[in-house]
Structure 1
Amino acid sequence: MGVRLVGLLPADLDEEQAEVYRAITGGARASGPRAFPLTDEEGRLRGPFNAMLLSPPVGFAAQALGAAVRYNSSLKARTREMAILAVAAHFDSAFEREAHEAVGRTSAGLAESEMTALRAGRMPELTEPAERAALRATKALLRHGTLSDDEYADAVAAIGERGVFELTTLVGYYSMLALQLRVFLGEGTSIRNSKFTQ
């Protein structure tokens, strides 16, 4: 399967689409790592953002949710980026992996060994209990779509109820993006059965 959705040029956008475009390119994402541009050389949105232009009301809400999850969450940057990379590994999402490894390197302080482990679907060696608990919860959400009572209690003890809400939202949001990347850009061939080692 190849690319199904051709990128839209900025000059071809209607006003609603242009509003979504401006929210993505002019918002907090635009101040991210320069190693990962949001647009191609002609200004077309890259990755899942281009698909958001298909339905401006839904696309605008989706990009706003993504911005909230990334920039207004109580989760620490390392925890957030490791959870996103776990989702990327689960769905074999090259775009999410490339984008968030860039963020992990430049803004979240992730080591190459940690990203290598996440890329392979393994639990990195972590000394921070909150990071381990959040990744165990991410693994459970990806594999089972829920948390057991023990997993929930461990996650709440480590990152609080607000953190668990934000983590489940993050996993859902990046899973949605990964699915859209698969449908519109033909990314990934199989969903990996993530098995993090404890």
Structure 2
Amino acid sequence: MSGTASGGRLPLAHPDRLSSEQRALYEEITGGPRAAGPQLFALTDPHGHLNGPFNAMLSSPRLGGALQALGSAIRYSSKLPPRVRESAILAVATVWDCAFERYAHEAVGRAAGLTEDELRALREGVDPGFADPFEHAAWSAVSTLATPGQELDDTWYAAARAALGEAILFELSTLVGYYATLALQLRLFGVPAPDATATDRPNQR
């Protein structure tokens, strides 16, 4: 899958004009685990500019490096099964109306086995009807965690812990925070999905 990057309100950082710190981060992103295996969404455009949230990370490479390392750990080092991880990311994308996260993770979700009906439900923010109780409990927990103002009382927590366990709840809450951060930054800098039209830009709300 290819696409032309847009930095939105930020200039696109050309790989030939990076500082040493920016170059190190650029190589971590383009040469790390995200670049291994099939390319389900484009990390760079044909000119080498970073797509999506990664171009913004170059603005502050030390903090950006820590942020991308957290994202890499969530994607490649967590205990979350791929379908659970991708449905959780897409649930966050729906809450934040984030075009880039939908663009990237619907592609990854398909590869992880999410059906078109499940992807449509996740896009619309409705129950995807997962038959697996663990998958459904994870989606329900993420939908609550990602939505501002939801009550996380002791009864809710006890049910979530019984269904998922403490380690998975920790990982899901970390995922929600990370992808909400990316969605906020994409909105702040007005970055659309590659090749998206102006109407696909995240809502300014």
**TM-score normalised according to structure 2 size:** 0.87
Equivalence map 1:6-21=2 (5 Å): 6-21=11-26
Match of 2:113 among 109, 112, 118: 109
Counterparts of 1:110 and 1:153, CA distance in 2:
28
Q: Is the 8 A contact 1:137 1:151 kept in 2?
A: no
1:189 paired to 2:203 = yes
State the Cα RMSD in Å. Answer: 1.6
Which residue does 1:24 correspond to in 2? 29
Equivalence map 1:47-196=2 (5 Å): 47-106=52-111, 108-143=112-147, 144=149, 147-186=152-191, 187-189=201-203
Counterparts of 2:36 and 2:22, CA distance in 1:
21
Distance 1:145 1:173, change over 3 A: farther
Aligned residue type for 1:31: A
Match of 2:46 among 33, 41, 45: 41
Counterparts of 2:143 and 2:118, CA distance in 1:
15
Percent same amino acid at aligned positions?
55
Q: Is the 8 A contact 2:41 2:107 kept in 1?
A: yes
Which residue does 2:196 correspond to in 1? none
- 1:58 deviates by 0.2
**TM-score normalised according to structure 1 size:** 0.90
Q: Is the 8 A contact 1:10 1:18 kept in 2?
A: yes
Q: Is the 8 A contact 1:117 1:123 kept in 2?
A: yes
Q: Which runs of 5+ in 1 are unaligned?
A: 192-198
Q: Which runs of 5+ in 2 are unaligned?
A: 1-6, 192-200
